[in-house]
Amino acid sequence: MKVDDILRLLRQEYGERVWKAGQEPVFVLVQTVLSQNTSDANSHRAFESLLAAFADWESVAAADTEAVAKAIRQGGLADIKAGRIQYMLRQIEERRGSLDLSFLKGLPLPDARSWLRSLPGVGPKTASCVLLFSLGMPALPVDTHVFRVAGRLGLIDSKATPEKAHNMLEAMVPSHDVYAFHLYLIEHGRRVCKAQRPRCSVCVLLSLCPSGLEAQARPPGTVA
């Protein structure tokens, strides 16, 4: 019931969130790799630069690594990410004969996730992003915002690892609400439930939040 209440309150606060068909899986896979350890703006610029520099993903896979790194330099950690992206693309080509990952849609969710995670450098968040945003499968990516907000709300154990958090949250969020839940927690984390100074006094989830209620009960000027 707590998840239902969270969804209801955040829907009232931020509006409806409905999944729409996104880019092909390999696009989302590369975008997610580029988003690691950088801002959304930088990763977007790096992705657009990569698309402009190469005709297709097969060209990226076959290119000199330095050329790929040059194209994504704005995204940070370019040398590491370039090698990782190329290795992933080559592995997909070797295993599937092409870079088409649409076959994942026909697999049970655990199998689709397992296949993606068998690729080098693909963790639970990256796999879930591909499955959710590209294929509309109920995989719940747990980024820093989702992890923080869910922890403060008491949905996950404070000692849970991000990987364990994926399993815990997917088990409690109805499959048809996974997309909205993910987006709501990210938006709420950015606007209200901030890492350093959460705005508990204006939070629509305060009555459901053990962390927020505890913070509000402390005398002004005290530190947890």
Nearest residue to 28 via CA among 115, 108, 136: 136
Nearest residue to 135 via CA among 99, 90, 105: 105
| pLDDT over 90 percentage in the chain | 82
Contacts of 39 (CB under 8 A, 6+ apart): none
Annotation says 125 is catalytic: yes
Among 24-28, 186-190, 219-223, the least confident range: 219-223
* Rounded CA separation 84/60 (Å): 11
* Rounded CA separation 199/183 (Å): 19
Computed over every residue of the chain, the mean pLDDT equals 93
Which tops the pLDDT comparison, 40 or 89? 89
Contacts of 51 (CB under 8 A, 6+ apart): none
pLDDT at site 8: 97
Query: Taking each helix axis from N to C terminus, what angle separates 2-14 and 178-191, rounded to the nearest 10 degrees?
Result: 60
pLDDT at site 37: 84
pLDDT at site 213: 87
Q: Which two tokens stand for residue 194?
A: 């901030």
| pLDDT tens per residue, range 145-182 | 999 999 999 999 878 888 889 999 999 999 999 999 99
pLDDT at site 223: 47
* Rounded CA separation 184/166 (Å): 16
Q: Are 137 and 155 in contact (CB under 8 A)?
A: no
pLDDT at site 1: 65
- Domains of the chain, with CATH numbers? 2-17+141-217 (1.10.1670.10), 25-134 (1.10.340.30)
* Full-model pTM: 0.90
pLDDT at site 209: 94
When pLDDT is averaged across residues 103-118 and rounded to a whole number, the result is 96
When pLDDT is averaged across residues 87-100 and rounded to a whole number, the result is 96
112 falls in which pLDDT band (50, 70, 90)? very high
Query: Which is catalytic among the residues 125, 159, 164, 194?
Result: 125
Three-state SS string across 131-199, please?
Answer: HHHHCCCCCCCCCHHHHHHHHHCCCCCCCCCHHHHHHHHHHHCCHHHHHHHHHHHHHHHHHCCCCCCCC
